[in-house]
Chains A and B, each alone.
Chain A
Amino acid sequence: MLTLGPKTFSSRLLTGTGKFASKTLIAPMLEASGSQMITVALRRVDPGADQENILSHIPDTVTLLPNTSGARTAEEAVRIARIARAAGCGDFIKIEVIQDMQYLLPENYETLKATEILAREGFTVLPYVMADINIARQLHDAGAAAVMPLGAPIGSNAGLEMKAMIRRIIDTSKLPVIVDAGIGKPSQAAEAMEMGADAVLVNTAIATAQDPALAGRAFAKAVAAGRMACLCGLAGAQAGASASSPLTGFLRN
Chain B
Amino acid sequence: MKITLNGSVVETDQTDLLALVHERGVDPSSLVIEHNLSVIKQDNWPLTPLREGDTIELLNFVGGG
For B39, the chain A residues whose CB sits under 8 A away are: 82-83, 86-87
Whether A19 contacts B59 in the complex (CB less than 8 A), given A44-B7, A51-B26, comes out as no
- Answer yes or no: A16 CB below 8 A from chain B CBs: yes
For A79, the chain B residues whose CB sits under 8 A away are: 37
**Which B positions have Cβ atoms within 8 angstroms of A?**
6-7, 24-27, 29-32, 34, 37-39, 57-65
For A41, the chain B residues whose CB sits under 8 A away are: 61-65
Residue A53 contacts which of B7, B30, B65 (CB distance < 8 angstroms)? B30
Structural contact, A47 and B26, CB atoms closer than 8 A: yes
Structural contact, B59 and A18, CB atoms closer than 8 A: no
Q: Can you name the residue of chain A whose Cβ is closest to the Cβ of B29?
A: A53
For B24, the chain A residues whose CB sits under 8 A away are: 47
* Docked complex Cα distance between A45 and B61 (Å): 9
Structural contact, A51 and B61, CB atoms closer than 8 A: no
Structural contact, B37 and A44, CB atoms closer than 8 A: no
Number of A-B pairs whose CB atoms are under 8 Å?
Answer: 100
Q: A41-B64, A53-B30 are in contact. List 8 more A-B contacts (CB 8 A).
A: A18-B65, A42-B32, A45-B26, A52-B30, A52-B62, A53-B29, A55-B61, A83-B59
- Answer yes or no: A40 CB below 8 A from chain B CBs: yes
Task: Please name 28 pairs of A and B residues whose Cβ atoms are closer than 8 Å in the assembled complex, sorted by A.
Answer: A16-B63, A17-B65, A18-B63, A18-B64, A23-B63, A41-B62, A42-B61, A43-B60, A44-B7, A44-B57, A44-B58, A45-B26, A47-B24, A47-B58, A51-B31, A51-B60, A52-B30, A53-B30, A53-B60, A55-B30, A69-B64, A82-B39, A83-B59, A86-B38, A86-B39, A154-B65, A204-B65, A207-B63
For B61, the chain A residues whose CB sits under 8 A away are: 40-43, 53-55, 66, 84, 87, 89
The number of chain A residues with a CB under 8 A from chain B is: 39
* Docked complex Cα distance between A55 and B29 (Å): 11
Question: How near does chain A come to B32, taking the closest CB pair, in angstroms?
Answer: 4
For B27, the chain A residues whose CB sits under 8 A away are: 51
- Answer yes or no: A108 CB below 8 A from chain B CBs: no
Structural contact, B30 and A42, CB atoms closer than 8 A: no
Q: Can you name the residue of chain B whose Cβ is closest to the Cβ of A66?
A: B61
Structural contact, A39 and B30, CB atoms closer than 8 A: no
For B63, the chain A residues whose CB sits under 8 A away are: 16-20, 23, 26, 40-41, 52, 54, 207
